[in-house]
């Protein structure tokens, strides 16, 4: 104990542990994870970067040819636009929807809430193949949706062969992931102390004002991670789309991963890696814009 | 908030109606005889003229598809066991590898922490197709191709659980660490004594979520396990045709079963998983 | 409530654990998926040819330790002219004849018959039985079997067979019989095995998963031949299968020969009789296989061969390579193919298989030899995945257009081992009248209607040509016009419209009729152009027409068309075959079974040797029904063999015909886009809609290039 107090005297920062101790401990704790990540994730990423500047087999250096080819390629433009559209529509929609769900579920109280939580989480665990089966049964030309529409007197819609395919993709994504995001929101909501709400209620604020003043600011930290996880999950929607509509679906459903898949079958690894790096750069750009906006907001806050 | 109990429940019920229908559909589908399945929903899969229909209950409920799946299809069990062989080591490994890393990111300031964390996040975002060939190269050079380790090891070192566990650890108030330091615990000790017990819900929820990911993984086993006898259950339903419709329904239902069981068991932890407060409702 | 939940959770967890335990306990099954491998064994079986001086072998039996062979001379002749021989193998390995075979006596007791099938059976107690099946044509086709027991050289007609082996042997549902000590194994006509005791009573027994033909048995077990011509062995009552002989290494896979019968002596000596299936050819061989511990087995290097679909040509080359060099060749194909209602059905996903292959190739590993069918060959060449074959492979004897498909200034990267030409042939008057595809289309459109229910093939006029469904019609004409329709990665609307209208005229105009009465309408047969058969439902297409124009896969079968034409027209035809061309001179021959060597192969010499064998006379000469040979001498050999089998003469120089044809490689994506357009056009009648459909289907693929 005496030793500790003496050490604390030498440490400038009001932190529990000293810098040296921290660094040593961090190194030890991080070592296995870093080693694994370096071998299984960093190394492949570096190889991807390298191959974007070489030919497909990775032998000959070709400079920026791959990037030029990719940027001039119609299919890439279409796929990138579709993916951007998908992400741009989906993520805000998902965040909003899951937030509403979270608020509703919390409002029903702890007991019933549990049931609903599991219910909304269930779509996430349904295996991909079952979703494919479901999709086919529902949205095929003679599927159940068209039967239902027919019963209501509406002419059948060609779901898979028209722009409706895009919206089906979005609906599937929302359905699968709303439960997941809802859990994240609920966790974030739980962290906001109830006392603040009680104080506001005493002051006579209504629900909307409470939301704007207390809930929304309190959820900001959760927003970041939820958005990121939703982004990651949005890439996973490819597998269902691929299993149902094949390698060449309706153009409205044609995502970057379809393109990568098809290019890969033709061994166009140079193009794939160049396109992947472009996507990463785009994400970094969005991320830094987001950070810059946040910093700007924080500076403007009282 | 208590006023809007009933409307809230109603709205939630309506929103979850689709999920309930899907569950009912699969459950009934697993109990419907094959010919009735082909007659009712088969047309959707065969692209025929007349449209599919669906009845609330099967006319002749039968356990035949389930029985056929469970008793007559040994490959199903082999794949089930393969899936378990792949998932459990991954989950355990993540516990050992990711939890300390998450603690380091959360509570131990060191130079370059933010940049390193950002790199972790970035690596997580890349879809599998992009890194497939380099992954193959790495695994081949390590001599791991065609073994279960080819799927397990990358899974263990995934950045995803680190992210979630870090969020869980973030919620542990710093004062506890101060108190522990005063009591003479070093950073490692406080991890073991405070981080693990208090962050346990976060850890568990990360493991559960990742376990489900691993259970449903398709690309990695298919690419890196060449021998079909080693394939996990997630690859069983790759070809859904009209032929094995009853089997497919039954298999879907069974595939669906383990995660909700795990949910039910780890219910409390999963919900409070991320962002736990030490005691309920107290502000810190 | 909580207690209840805990109980439930506990029970579920328990069930889960039990299921897990059950998984571990379930024994691994022998997998027969599409991933098939033919591997070489280091076996020590010495193969010796010990054919006795005999003709048609009608029975090979092992009684005790002695081998007996019963043969018949003049098996194709009328019964009274057939002579039987009963040979016993002596301890010195020579054949000794036992004159008292009783056949002449038995034959004398059978009423006069022009055709008779004779089988002999030698029971374990040494008594010989004859079954003579007489076939009578008038007034209707009937058959009657007589059973004779031989005693002291005399044959006695039996009304009922004695119980046990003989009664099982006489049973009409028995396809194969093996005696294993006290158990008799029988396969019925669904190839299901059954076990009986030696009184003929059923004795239930466990069998392994037998995929093949039961051959014979010894005291403890039984042998059978699997689909890859490997000899398998299993103990009676057991389920473990042992591969005794690897077919590839022995005469079991001699081209053109099949295993007739087999017998096994207890000391692990096996006798196998092979024939070419033709009674009158007298091409029979008897081999003895004896385990020799000192036998040196030549082992060549390891070689891996890969293809997406199973290729019999490759399998033949693998067998040949193993025989020649003893190399350890492993052939793997990724996808299984079967036929359902006349449509080919593929199990497994081509994209997944190709992704796996590409991953390996891009990482610098992969199989040594790649069969490039349905793969992006041009891409692979550009990326440097395939090795340059110049100087390594000798392509001298190949058809020049085939050898030159992938020959560039930079080198030769892939060579097709098979080709699929679009050929045109028929009766002479028809051939003279139709010079090109457009004329053919006009004639087809002008054909009279055929109503299947009323058509009488013997009296009504025979149609010009017949197609199984519209897809086949499409495939006859599409390759000729594909180049015009898709120019520079774009759809040429005018050419497309001309093509669609031409097909539509054919479908609307002539010969439209119903499909076969009770067969389900196939997806592609919206308008099916039906061929009348000669009464049997198994008739080949084009058997009831005056001409054929089709993508041809079997050269040795080509002559049979002309045999038929001679029959129905009554006059011998000149059996002229030519390439179908458009008026502009475009013909079509598609390369198939395209082989290339992986640039990162670890065994390039072995790979080169394999390719040379694949393109060599032995393999090229075999008709594997997956295309025509690309070796000119093999083309001539197959063509002549087919003609002589059909008794037809021809002046056509088949190699010259094939060599002149234009090589076409239609892309599958573009083909299916055009097929959809055609179906759209036939349904809606609007060319614009159809063209738009084609464009839409292909737009993404074209954009990606």
The string of DSSP letters for C454-479 reads T--TTTSPPPS---SSHHHHHHHHHH
User: Sheet harboring C284-291: ordered strands across?
Assistant: C45-49, C284-291, C269-275, C258-265
Domain at B262, CATH number: 1.10.3720.10
- Tell if the CB–CB gap between C379 and A266 is shorter than 8 Å: yes
Rounded-to-integer distance, Cα C377 and Cα A17, Å? 63
Burial class (CB in 10 A: 0-12, 13-18, 19+), C167: middle
Please give, rounded to a whole number of angstroms, the shortest distance from the CA of B213 to a CA of chain C: 19
As a whole number of angstroms, the distance between CA C190 and CA C194 comes to 11
Q: Could you tell me if B43 and B162 lie in one domain?
A: no
Alpha carbon distance A192, B280 (integer Å): 11
Q: Is the pLDDT of residue C35 over 60?
A: no
Measure the CA–CA gap between A57 and C363, rounded to whole angstroms: 8
Calculate mean pLDDT across residues A35-46: 88
Other CB atoms within 10 A of residue A163 CB: 13
Residue B171 within any structural domain of the chain:
yes
Higher-confidence residue of C251 and C177: namely: C177
Closest CA to C402 of C375, C384, C420, C386: C420
Give residue C611's pLDDT.
Answer: 92
Residues B6 and B142 in one domain: no
d(CA C169, CA C261): 14
Residues of C within 8 A of A265 (CB-CB) are 351, 354-355, 358, 376
Distance CA C405, CA C73 (A): 52
| DSSP string over C226-270 | ETTS-EEEEETT---EEEEE-GGGSGGG-TT-EEEEEEEETTTEE
Nearest-angstrom CA–CA distance, C110 and C545: 43
**A/B interface, count of CB pairs below 8 Å:** 286
In this structure, the answer to whether residues B39 and B126 fall within a common structural domain is: no
Contacts of B203 (CB under 8 A, 6+ apart): B95, B99, B165, B168, B196
What CA–CA distance (Å, rounded) separates A104 from B15?
A: 11
Contact C423, C580 (CB under 8 A): yes
B22 and A CB contact within 8 Å: yes
Q: Is the peptide bond before C139 cis (omega within 30 degrees of 0)?
A: yes
CB-side exposure of C92: number of CA atoms within 13 Å? Answer: 3
Pick the CATH number of C302-416+601-619 from 3.30.420.40, 3.40.50.300, 3.50.50.60, 3.40.190.10: 3.40.190.10
Query: Quick check: is B96 in a domain?
Result: yes
Domain count, chain B: 2
Interface test mutation site (partner C, options B38, B43, B75, max chain C beta carbons within 10 A): B75
CA atoms within 13 A on the CB side of C147: 16
Looking at the structure, tell me whether residues B25 and B102 fall in a common domain.
no
pLDDT band for position C40 (cuts 50, 70, 90) = very low
Measured between alpha carbons, how far is C625 from C554 in angstroms, rounded to an integer?
A: 5
Do residues C216 and C224 touch, judged by C-beta distance below 8 A? no
Band of residue C612 on the pLDDT scale cut at 50, 70, 90? very high
The whole domain housing B266 covers: 78-271
Taking only the tens place, the pLDDT of each residue in C335-364 is 877 665 545 566 667 888 888 888 888 888
Tell me: pLDDT of C58 over 70. Answer: no
Chain B residues in contact with A276 by the CB 8 A cut-off are 126, 130
> Is the same domain home to B139 and B115?
yes
Give a yes or no: residue B280 inside a domain: no
Give the per-residue pLDDT at B160. Answer: 84
Query: What is the DSSP-derived secondary structure letter of residue C386?
Result: B
CB atoms within 10 A of CB A202: 8
Give the relative orientation of helices A74-107 and A216-235 as an angle to the nearest 10 degrees.
Answer: 140
**Is B29 a member of any domain?**
yes
3-state SS, one letter per residue, for chain B: CHHHHHHHHHHHHHHCHHHHHHHHHHHHHHCCCHHHHHHHCHHHHHCCCCCCCCCCCCCCCCCHHHHHHHHHCHHHHHHHHHHHHHHHHHHHHHHHHHHHHHHHHHHCCCCCHHHHHHHHHHHHHCCHHHHHHHHHHHHHHCCCCCCCHHHHHHHHCCCHHHHHHHHHHHCCCHHHHHHHHHCCCCHHHHHHHHHHHHHHHHHHHHHHHHHHHHHCCCHHHHHHCCCHHHCCHHHCCCCCCCCCHHHHHHHHHHHHCHHHHHHHHCHHHHHCCCCCCCCCCCCC
Stretch C2-9: mean pLDDT: 60
Mutate to test the interface with A, among C384, C704, C705 (most CBs of A within 10 A): C704
CB contact under 8 A, A57 and C699: no
Same domain, B264 and B135: yes
Q: Examine the domain organization and report whether B132 and B43 are in the same domain.
A: no
C85 neighbors C101 (Cβ within 8 angstroms): yes
Task: Yes or no: say if C388 and C622 are a contact pair by the CB < 8 Å rule.
Answer: no
Going from the C-alpha of C561 to that of each of C309, C447, C573, C575, the distances in angstroms are 29, 21, 10, 9
Residue C240 has pLDDT above 70, yes or no: yes
Residue partners of C78: CB distance under 8 A and separation at least 6: C113, C114, C115, C116
Domains in chain A, ordered, with CATH? 18-51 (no CATH), 70-300 (1.10.3720.10)
Does residue B147 sit in the same domain as residue B9? no
Give the one of B47, B54, B178 whose C-beta lies nearest to A16's C-beta.
B178
- Determine contact, residues C294/C307, Cβ cutoff 8 Å: no
> Whose CA is closest to C305, among C548, C37, C61, C65?
C37
Identify the band that residue C534 occupies on the pLDDT scale cut at 50, 70 and 90: very low
pTM greater than 0.90: no
Asked whether the beta carbons of residue A45 and residue B248 sit closer than 8 angstroms, the reply is no
Interfacial B residues in 26-85 facing A (CB < 8 Å) = 26, 41, 43-45, 47-54
**Residue B160 lies inside a defined structural domain of this protein:** yes
Q: Tell me: the pLDDT tens digits for B134-179? A: 888 888 888 887 788 888 888 888 888 888 888 778 877 888 888 8
Nearest CA in chain A to B108: A22
Nearest C-alpha of chain C: how many angstroms from B133?
A: 5
Q: Is B277 among the domain residues? A: no
Q: What is the CATH number of domain C45-291?
A: 2.115.10
pLDDT digits (tens, 9 = 90+) for A258-279: 888 888 888 888 888 899 889 8
Paired residues of C579 in beta bridges: C423
Residue B42 sits in the same domain as residue B88: no
How many Cβ pairs within 8 Å bridge chains A and C?
A: 57
Contact by Cβ (8 Å): C129, C121: yes
Spans of all domains in chain C: 45-291, 302-416+601-619, 420-591+640-666
Mean pLDDT, rounded, of chain C:
77
Closest CA to A70 of A280, A274, A282: A274
User: In sequence order, which residues have a C-beta less than 8 Å from that of residue A35 and are 6 or more positions away?
Assistant: none
Task: Please indicate, yes or no, if residue B276 is contained in any of the structural domains.
Answer: no
pLDDT tens digit sequence for A84-143: 988 888 889 999 988 888 888 877 776 666 777 777 877 877 777 778 778 878 887 777
Percentage of chain C beyond pLDDT 70 is 80
Give yes or no: residues B243 and B135 share one domain. yes
Question: What is the predicted pLDDT for the residue at C517?
Answer: 39
Q: Are residues B98 and B65 in the same domain?
A: no
- Residue B91 to chain C, least CA–CA distance (Å): 17
Tell me how far apart the alpha carbons of residues B279 and A110 are, in angstroms, rounded to a whole number. 16
What is the average per-residue pLDDT within C452-464? 66
Contacting partners of chain C (3+ CB pairs under 8 A): A, B
With a cut of 90, say whether residue A58 has pLDDT above it: no
Give mean pLDDT, residues B248-260.
73
User: Does residue C418 carry a pLDDT above 90?
Assistant: yes
Mean pLDDT of A55-74: 86
Last residue of a domain, one of B18, B38, B69: B69
Distance of alpha carbon B170 from alpha carbon B106, whole angstroms: 6
Lowest mean pLDDT among C306-320, C475-489, C534-548: C534-548
Q: Say if residues C621 and C638 touch (Cβ distance below 8 Å).
A: yes
Nearest to C587 by CA among C468, C419, C398, C446: C419
Q: For a pLDDT cut of 90, what percent of chain C falls above it?
A: 7
> Residues 407 to 466 of C: which have CB under 8 A from any B CB?
none
Q: Which of C36, C625, C614 is nearest to C312 (CA)?
A: C625
For chain C, helix, strand, coil in percent to 5 are 30, 30, 40
Q: Does A59 touch chain C (CB under 8 A)?
A: yes
> C384 and A248: CB-CB below 8 Å?
no
pLDDT classification of C34: cutoffs 50, 70, 90: very low
Residues B10, B93, single domain; the answer is: no
CB contact under 8 A, C356 and B222: yes
């Amino acid at each position: 104990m005496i030793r500790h107090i003496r050490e604390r005297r030498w440490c400038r920062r009001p932190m529990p542990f000293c810098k040296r101790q921290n660094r040593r401990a961090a190194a030890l704790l991080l070592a296995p994870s870093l080693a694994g990540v370096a071998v299984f994730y960093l190394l492949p990423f570096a190889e991807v970067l390298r191959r974007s500047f070489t030919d497909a087999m990775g032998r000959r250096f070709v400079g920026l040819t791959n990037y030029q080819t990719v940027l001039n390629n119609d299919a890439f433009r279409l796929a990138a636009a579709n993916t951007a559209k998908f992400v741009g529509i989906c993520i805000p929609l998902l965040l909003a929807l899951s937030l509403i769900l979270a608020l509703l579920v919390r409002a029903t109280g702890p007991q019933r809430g549990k049931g609903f939580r599991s219910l909304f989480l269930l779509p996430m665990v349904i295996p991909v193949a079952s979703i494919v089966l479901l999709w086919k049964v529902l949205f095929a030309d003679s599927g159940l949706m068209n039967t239902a529409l027919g019963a209501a007197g509406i002419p059948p819609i060609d779901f898979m062969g028209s722009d409706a395919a895009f919206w089906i993709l979005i609906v599937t994504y929302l359905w699968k992931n709303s439960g997941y995001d809802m859990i994240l929101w609920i966790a974030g909501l739980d962290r906001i102390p109830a006392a603040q709400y009680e104080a506001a209620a005493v002051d006579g604020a209504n629900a909307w004002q409470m939301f704007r003043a207390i809930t929304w600011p309190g959820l900001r930290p959760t927003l970041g991670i939820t958005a990121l996880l939703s982004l990651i999950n949005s890439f996973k929607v490819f597998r269902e789309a691929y299993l149902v509509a094949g390698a060449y679906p309706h153009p409205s459903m044609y995502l970057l991963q379809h393109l990568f898949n098809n290019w890969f079958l033709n061994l166009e690894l140079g193009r794939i890696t160049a396109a992947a790096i472009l996507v990463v750069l785009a994400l970094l750009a969005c991320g830094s814009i987001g950070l810059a906006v946040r910093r700007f907001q924080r500076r403007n806050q009282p | 908030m208590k006023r809007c109990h009933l409307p809230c429940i109603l709205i939630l019920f309506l929103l979850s109606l689709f999920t309930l229908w899907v569950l009912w559909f699969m459950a009934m589908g697993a109990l419907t005889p094959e010919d009735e399945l082909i007659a009712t929903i088969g047309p959707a899969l065969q692209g025929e003229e007349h449209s599919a229909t669906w009845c609330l209950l099967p006319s002749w409920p039968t356990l035949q598809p389930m029985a056929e799946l469970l008793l007559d299809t040994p490959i199903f069990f082999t794949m089930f066991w393969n899936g378990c062989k792949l998932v459990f080591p991954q989950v355990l490994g993540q516990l050992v590898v990711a939890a300390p890393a998450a603690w380091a990111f959360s509570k131990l300031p060191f130079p370059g922490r933010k940049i390193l964390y950002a790199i972790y996040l970035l690596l997580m975002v890349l879809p599998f197709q992009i890194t497939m060939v380099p992954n193959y190269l790495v695994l081949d050079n390590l001599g791991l191709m065609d073994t279960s380790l080819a799927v397990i090891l990358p899974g263990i070192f995934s950045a995803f659980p680190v992210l979630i566990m870090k969020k869980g650890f973030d919620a542990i108030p710093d004062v506890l660490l101060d108190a522990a330091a005063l009591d003479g615990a070093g950073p490692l000790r406080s991890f073991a004594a405070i981080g693990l017990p208090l962050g346990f819900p976060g850890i568990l929820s990360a493991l559960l979520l990742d376990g489900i990911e691993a259970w449903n993984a398709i690309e990695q086993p298919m690419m890196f396990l060449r021998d079909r006898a080693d394939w996990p259950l997630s690859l069983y339903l790759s070809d859904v045709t009209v032929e094995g419709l009853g089997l497919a329904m039954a298999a879907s239902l069974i595939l669906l079963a383990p995660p909700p069981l795990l949910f039910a068991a780890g219910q409390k932890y999963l919900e409070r998983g991320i962002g736990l407060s030490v005691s309920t409702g107290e502000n810190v | 409530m909580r207690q209840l939940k805990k109980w439930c959770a506990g029970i579920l967890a328990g069930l889960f654990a039990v299921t897990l335990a059950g998984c571990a306990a379930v024994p691994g099954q022998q997998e027969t998926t599409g991933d098939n491998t033919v591997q070489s064994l280091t076996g020590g079986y010495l193969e010796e040819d010990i054919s006795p001086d005999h003709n048609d072998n009608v029975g090979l039996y092992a009684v005790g330790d002695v081998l007996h062979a019963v043969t018949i001379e003049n098996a194709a002749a009328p019964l009274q002219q057939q002579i039987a021989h009963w040979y016993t193998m002596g301890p010195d390995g020579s054949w000794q004849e036992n004159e008292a075979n009783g056949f002449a006596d038995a034959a004398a007791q059978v009423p006069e018959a022009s055709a008779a099938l004779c089988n002999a059976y030698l029971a374990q107690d040494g008594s010989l039985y004859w079954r003579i099946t007489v076939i009578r044509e008038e007034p209707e086709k009937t058959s009657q079997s007589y059973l004779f027991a031989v005693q002291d050289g005399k044959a006695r007609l039996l009304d009922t067979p004695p119980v046990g082996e003989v009664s099982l042997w006489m049973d009409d549902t028995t396809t194969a019989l093996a005696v294993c000590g006290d158990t008799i194994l029988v396969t019925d006509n669904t190839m299901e095995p059954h076990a009986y005791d030696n009184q003929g009573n059923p004795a239930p027994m466990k069998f392994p998963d037998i995929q093949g033909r039961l051959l014979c048995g010894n005291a403890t077990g039984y042998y059978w031949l699997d689909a890859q011509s490997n000899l398998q062995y299993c103990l009676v009552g057991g389920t473990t299968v042992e591969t005794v002989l690897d077919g590839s290494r022995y005469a079991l896979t001699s081209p053109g020969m099949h295993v007739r019968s087999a017998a096994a002596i207890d000391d692990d000596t096996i006798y196998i009789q092979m024939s070419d299936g033709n009674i009158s050819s007298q091409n029979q061989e008897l081999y003895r296989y004896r385990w020799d511990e000192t036998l040196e087995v030549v082992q060549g290097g390891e070689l891996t061969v890969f293809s997406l679909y199973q290729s019999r040509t490759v399998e033949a080359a693998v067998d040949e390579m193993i025989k020649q060099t003893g190399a350890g060749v492993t052939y793997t194909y990724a996808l299984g193919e079967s036929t359902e209602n006349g449509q080919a059905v593929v199990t497994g996903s081509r994209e997944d298989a190709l992704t796996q292959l590409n991953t390996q190739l891009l990482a610098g590993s992969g199989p040594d030899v790649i069969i490039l069918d349905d793969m992006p060959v041009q891409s692979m060449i550009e990326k440097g995945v395939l090795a340059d074959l110049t100087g390594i492979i000798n392509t001298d004897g190949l058809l020049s257009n085939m050898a030159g498909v992938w020959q560039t200034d930079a080198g030769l990267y892939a060579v097709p081992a098979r080709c699929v030409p679009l050929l045109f042939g028929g009766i002479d008057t028809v051939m003279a009248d139709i010079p090109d595809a457009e004329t053919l289309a006009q004639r087809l459109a002008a054909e009279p209607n055929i109503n299947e229910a009323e058509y009488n093939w013997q009296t009504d006029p025979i149609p010009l040509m017949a197609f199984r469904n519209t897809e086949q019609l499409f495939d006859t004409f599409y390759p000729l016009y594909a180049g015009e329709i898709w120019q520079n990665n774009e759809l040429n609307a005018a050419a497309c419209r001309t093509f669609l209208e031409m097909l539509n005229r054919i479908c609307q105009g002539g010969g439209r009729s119903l499909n076969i009465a009770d067969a389900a309408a196939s997806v592609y047969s919206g308008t099916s152009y039906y061929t009348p058969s000669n009464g049997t439902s198994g008739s080949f297409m084009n058997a009831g027409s005056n001409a054929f124009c089709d993508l041809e896969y079997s050269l040795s079968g080509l002559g049979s068309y002309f045999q038929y034409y001679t029959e129905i027209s009554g006059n011998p035809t000149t059996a002229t075959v030519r390439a179908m061309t458009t008026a502009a001179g475009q013909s079509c021959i598609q390369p198939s079974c395209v082989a290339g060597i992986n640039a990162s192969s670890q065994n390039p010499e072995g790979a080169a040797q394999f390719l040379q064998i694949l393109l060599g006379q032995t393999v090229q000469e075999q008709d594997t029904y997956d295309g025509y040979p690309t070796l000119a001498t093999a083309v001539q050999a197959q063509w002549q063999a087919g003609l002589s089998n059909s008794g037809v003469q021809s002046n056509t120089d088949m190699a010259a015909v094939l060599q002149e044809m234009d090589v076409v490689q239609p892309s599958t994506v573009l083909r299916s886009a055009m097929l959809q357009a055609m179906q759209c056009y036939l349904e809606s009648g609007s060319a614009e809609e159809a063209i738009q459909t084609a464009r839409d289907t292909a737009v993404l693929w074209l954009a990606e290039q």
